[in-house]
Structure 1
Amino acid sequence: MDKKAKVLMKKYKVEKFLGQGNFAKVYSATNLETNQSVAIKVICKDMVVKTGLIEQTKREITIMKLLKHPNIVQLYEVMGSKTKIYIVMEHAEGGELFQKIKKGRLGEEVARKYFQQLITAVEFCHKRGVYHRDLKPENLLLDKNGVLKVSDFGLSALAESKREDGLLHTSCGTPGYVAPEVIRCRAYDGAKADIWSCGVILFVLMAGYLPFHDLNRIRMYNKICASEYQCPRWFSCQVRKLLCGILDPNPDQRFLVSEIIENSWFQKGFNSKTKTEVEEPDLLDGDEGFDDCDKTENQETITATSLTAFHILSRSSSFKLDAKREVQFTSTQSATSIMSKLKDISRKLNLKVKNEGASMQLVKSMDGKKRTLSIEAEIFEFAPSFHLVEMKKSGGDSFEFRKMVEEDIRPALKDVVWAWEGECTNNSSGICV
């Protein structure tokens, strides 16, 4: 946002930059009419159009309008200009709950208080037909009084997103918090997947670390699918039993929200008779701020396949790749940039290219002989700014495939690669792919 633009829409005095996402920035501001402190999410309209996320952004706005609850960040209004979308929300001045955990694990009483508020909010979401699908401490905010607020509904789904079988099919979420059935790319119940994430959050609040933590993501997925974890010695028997019911890898046996609320440990200090005043939502769509989107000049962009890394990694029961036939890497670049780079490499290596959307085939005749080496590359998106690229041999000699990847393709991709499969990044998360 322009530093000179101190007042937005003649209504909000912009004060401080709070954070930045892929194509959005968040600022604190004050409503000049009411003197209320708010947070304003400023979205670049052009980037939303280019990345094909118009419908996702509209859905997020629609969902936030449905959810008027004391433990959910409130949406106040949506405004738009020719280039920007402004989402005005409740300002949770206490920041992320994650920041509290970084300082050390929480005591049982404090953890229970936050968990009670989380479950209350999740129950409300589910009754409204909303499934969050990315519950984690980073998406749980605190207001100035320490009240928990669930935020970031960018990956959420509505009940109408279910298919004929009554289940959801799109795998998404954050590794470490995602349910086993989502990792396995099975059709899943959105409510039960959220409940699993809540169980992981409770563990993290009280332990200070993830129950299924492993630097190797594949091993972590295996632990999640087997619900293989150990409670620290300071966990009470009641907490252990509650977690056992929530972190059940079989969603049919996993605790329901009602069972969690009825649990004796959960009930301590929880006044179920207190009725929170919840407003009826305005049943409007999420089109505000998008009036000019359809008029944006069309540009050729690549939309990655709507699958997740979970889907790729779970093609075999052992979660292992065949190193002779395929390699994978992750990238924080856009699908369009990745595809452009692959085409550039292909030209330099004199490879014939057959391109369709987010997939391409690279073909090379070997030593003038009739036999050819054929490589298929496909881009998968499991977050707007995070892609997984799979390259596999579809024809030809395995030795020639590995040689070309290691000597020619891999070095040329260094500008777009975040990490190759099996390698740890050097970032603070310590994630391996």
Structure 2
Amino acid sequence: SFLKLKDLIPVLYQEGRYQGEPVTLGLGGFGRVELVTTLLHGKYFAKKKVSKKLIVEKRQGPHVIFEKKILQDIDCDFIVLHAAFKDTRYIYMVMEFCSGGEIWTKLKEGRFEEKIAVFVTACVVEAFAYLHKKNIMYRDLKPENLMLDSKGFVKLVDFGFAKELRRGQKTYSFCGTPEYMAPEIIQNQGHDFAADFWSLGVLVFELLVGPPFSSSEPQKIYARILDGVMKFPPYMGEGARSLISKLCPRPGQRLGNTKNGIKDVRNHWFNSINWHKLRMGQIEAPTVRLIRKGPCYINFDRFPYDKTQAEEEFSGWDRDF
């Protein structure tokens, strides 16, 4: 349920200490995610806090307001739910604590076997199906935004680039993570839901092989994406090759963006998935073997605790937050 500030203040507090300091679960360009728990129930949550002053400087206010609106309205097991509140320095989003950590952290230990890649991608397909039905593009798919819950199910996080779009419309924002951007975003030709399906193809490739368009320089990444050449290694199965090839052509030809929509994606490469059981959480997730046992924060990288505080911000952009 969506909690208001007066409900949250008495029940949330910092915990999960490591060497005497509160645990930071993640860092981003706009803030950090910290581990919190309830006094009454002892249930863990992840609290994302973002500097209001930085939001104003980067002109991200409308995106933050929309992110809160999306998450407030969402009812999907593959997307992390949250509550939200603010003070004079930060906006806060309280989310489900996914104790398995980021898919990105697991990938650093080596590429996934196909069974695990199929399952991870299937969870993303379900999240996309839900969002697209509600006319919401995600636009920031990448391993860092995929979290594992305690049962190994994958949850989508970070809706900072999400956008509402009606069918038949296009938008011209330049946004996303360079390695995952669709060609039409880079070329500023206007993009729609097809951009999410391009990023799905890139994700499958990265899970099985590694990033298909990597470079330390964004301009080189964009050039490689526009060249459109993905080199499939001999160990990649025929089903994965076929799916990636169908997800990454021109927008009008992309699987998921044609007449049958996302049904075509579900019917390709996912023979081992019972979609109804997946939605009901009745599948034994093969990703469980990736989750380390130990303290609740053991599946997360270590981050130094930052005692500094953001400056106060009083412009009023967040009155609707």
1:225-262 CA distance string (max 9 Å, x none): 232111111111121111110111x1101101221101
CA contact (8 A) 1:49 1:293 kept: no
1:266 and 2:273 are equivalent in the alignment: no
- The Cα shift of 1:21 comes to 2.7
Alignment of 1:306-345 (within 5 A): none
In the alignment, which residue of structure 2 is the partner of 1:349?
none
Matched residues in 2 for 1:187 and 1:226: separation?
Answer: 19
In the alignment, which residue of structure 2 is the partner of 1:11?
11
Alignment of 1:103-252 (within 5 A): 103-159=109-165, 166-189=169-192, 191-207=193-209, 209-215=210-216, 217-248=218-249, 250-252=250-252
CA contact (8 A) 1:39 1:89 kept: yes
Structure 2's unaligned 5+ residue stretches are 1-7, 16-22, 257-261, 282-312
Bigger strand fraction: 1
1:28 and 2:35 are equivalent in the alignment: yes
Alignment of 1:31-50 (within 5 A): 31-50=38-57
Q: Percent identity?
A: 30
CA contact (8 A) 2:32 2:49 kept: yes
CA contact (8 A) 2:143 2:203 kept: yes
Which is worse superposed, 212-221 or 58-67? Answer: 212-221
The amino acid that maps onto 2:11 is K
Structure 1's unaligned 5+ residue stretches are 1-7, 279-291, 297-433
- The Cα shift of 1:216 comes to 5.2
- The Cα shift of 1:275 comes to 7.8
CA contact (8 A) 2:12 2:38 kept: yes
CA contact (8 A) 1:168 1:188 kept: yes
Aligned-partner SS, 1:85: strand
Larger radius of gyration: 1
CA contact (8 A) 1:13 1:31 kept: yes
The structure whose RCO (Cα within 8 Å, separation 6+) is larger is: 2
Q: How many residues matched?
A: 267
In the alignment, which residue of structure 1 is the partner of 2:286?
none
Alignment of 1:291-302 (within 5 A): 293-295=314-316
Alignment of 1:363-374 (within 5 A): none
Choose from 75, 92, 99 the match for 1:93: 99
In the alignment, which residue of structure 2 is the partner of 1:58?
65
Matched residues in 2 for 1:59 and 1:88: separation?
Answer: 16
Q: Structure 1 length as normaliser, TM-score?
A: 0.58
Aligned-partner SS, 1:223: helix
1:298-317 CA distance string (max 9 Å, x none): xxxxxxxxxxxxxxxxxxxx
Aligned-partner SS, 1:266: coil
Q: Alpha carbons of 1:27 and 1:217: their partners in 2 closer, same or farther (altered >3 Å)?
A: closer
CA contact (8 A) 1:134 1:156 kept: yes
The amino acid that maps onto 1:120 is E
Give runs of ≥4 in structure 1 deviating > 6 Å.
Answer: none
1:206-232 CA distance string (max 9 Å, x none): 11x111234554443233123211111
The amino acid that maps onto 1:210 is P
CA contact (8 A) 1:223 1:229 kept: no
